[in-house]
Structure 1
């Protein structure tokens, strides 16, 4: 029986891809003024970014073990194998929720085929890994083959990003107060990476235009194959489509790249990175 791919809304995949590959997505929770909203269900990323520009504060919460348990049990009752491809355990407790739920469901349905895997990834990089799993599932591959593909994609997909206002990273505990103040005063734009599931500062560049150029250069410097002609490249943005398209144009010109996924960062990631964030995800080796 065809394997079902389950993920969460921090994967930031466009709706058309979710539908095309029949991916099941559990929403993360957004909290504002003690009210809870489901990411991309009853609150949009645009609302989050507009609110943050107006100094509103949003918090996020993981998918609960109960939500996972209900979903796993749904597939277990139908005898459908399910693979949850999950948000980095270093950035959220969502993966831990899936582990708890899996153990609970297997006590009731010991024959069920349920696998959970930590991508150590976020946003579009996470999404590209989910997409690889979904392509294999649609092709009729077995669970073990899908897990192997996910592990290969985890090693290959690179994550680099920049934020428009470093203050948001300070609020999330990603940089010091001194770095945030100096960054704002000197128009310093940080370039960060996701490494081993964590956000790691990579470089500091003065001015947004230089950030675009440097991000494109880093693609070549950090890659092994250095050939992006047929690679799928993902760009996610914090309500800055103009910036995302500019970055896409630079990549097209430099590397003759053709395949792009461009999407707004979801409410879960956006609540921490802020409006104006630009993130770039690409394979360092051919998949």
Structure 2
């Protein structure tokens, strides 16, 4: 029986891939300053969020509803369909912990249910690439054990290299330290960050957008493995032009042909802000 792959909207995968690979997505929640509640990329599009942020609106985020997670699991448990939930990094969200509680609840009611949950330690399209590989294996008829083994390997080797226009947005949301946030907005200095054990870590500060793109490519060369044959992820905060430029630079330098490019969703966008540009690849492929 085919394994059902489930993720949350932190994965930032394009809708066409979600449909093609039958990936079920649980939306995170987003709130504006008037406490209006939105569902990430369902009732609040990324473009709407970024326009609001440019106008001075501040957003906050929250976990998916407990009942939403539960109903998703029950949908498959009731049909005896094994499912694998690949969660947004537990260092950045409580979604993984919440899903573990739901799993216990559902398994008490549906004693034959097979529900596996993995903390990807990834975010945005880094998480999305892991989810996509899992979904491909599911379509190939792999067992849940085989998929979990491969996913566990991938989560240990996904590189996240990204820059934001204003690091204070991440600081305000508690995603990086205030010391690191001090450099944001000074003299056109752009922070370059990565993800380490699921946490956001500033690594360098670079003056100017053009130099940031080149440095992202250089780090990719230093850390990447078999880049020509990988699927490379690029996500952006309402800056498709920059994402496409980064894609061209990668193609020219490494010969890579397969990319997943998408806007950052509203939940991650609320913390990263407009102008964010993120690059995802593997530092080891096997």
Q: CA deviation at 1:258?
A: 0.6
- Counterpart Cα distance in 1 of 2:157 and 2:186: 36
Question: How many residues in Structure 1 have an aligned counterpart in Structure 2?
Answer: 285
The residue that corresponds to 1:31 in the other structure is 31
- Residues 93-114 of structure 1: CA distance to partner in whole angstroms, max 9, x if unpaired? 1111110000001111111111
- Counterpart Cα distance in 2 of 1:127 and 1:176: 26
Asked whether 1:3 is paired with 2:20, we answer no
1:209 is paired with a residue whose SS is: helix
Q: CA RMSD in A?
A: 1.3
Q: Residues 65 and 254 from structure 1, CA distance in 2 versus in 1: closer, same or farther, beyond 3 angstroms?
A: same
The residue that corresponds to 2:270 in the other structure is 271
- Counterpart Cα distance in 2 of 1:26 and 1:199: 23
The residue that corresponds to 2:154 in the other structure is 153
The residue that corresponds to 2:19 in the other structure is 19
C-alpha contact 1:11 1:124 (8 A) present in aligned 2: yes
C-alpha contact 2:180 2:202 (8 A) present in aligned 1: no
C-alpha contact 1:64 1:94 (8 A) present in aligned 2: no
Q: Residues 284 and 181 from structure 1, CA distance in 2 versus in 1: closer, same or farther, beyond 3 angstroms?
A: closer
Matches within 5 A, 1:85-234: 85-175=86-176, 180=181, 182-223=183-224, 225=225, 227-234=226-233
C-alpha contact 1:65 1:100 (8 A) present in aligned 2: no
The residue that corresponds to 2:43 in the other structure is 42
- Counterpart Cα distance in 2 of 1:180 and 1:75: 43
- Residues 244-284 of structure 1: CA distance to partner in whole angstroms, max 9, x if unpaired? 01111111111111111110000010000000000000111
Any gaps of 5 or more consecutive residues in structure 1? none
- Residues 11-38 of structure 1: CA distance to partner in whole angstroms, max 9, x if unpaired? 0000010000000001111111111111
- Residues 124-173 of structure 1: CA distance to partner in whole angstroms, max 9, x if unpaired? 10000001110110000111001011111112211110001222122123
Give the TM-score normalised by the residue count of structure 1. Answer: 0.96
- Counterpart Cα distance in 2 of 1:48 and 1:261: 22
Deviates more, 1:71-80 or 1:233-242: 71-80
Point out 4+ residue stretches in structure 1 off by more than 3 angstroms.
Answer: 174-183
The residue that corresponds to 1:239 in the other structure is 238
C-alpha contact 2:167 2:183 (8 A) present in aligned 1: no
Q: CA deviation at 1:182?
A: 4.1
Q: Residues 115 and 180 from structure 1, CA distance in 2 versus in 1: closer, same or farther, beyond 3 angstroms?
A: closer
Deviates more, 1:46-55 or 1:160-169: 160-169
Q: CA deviation at 1:176?
A: 5.2
- Counterpart Cα distance in 2 of 1:133 and 1:62: 23
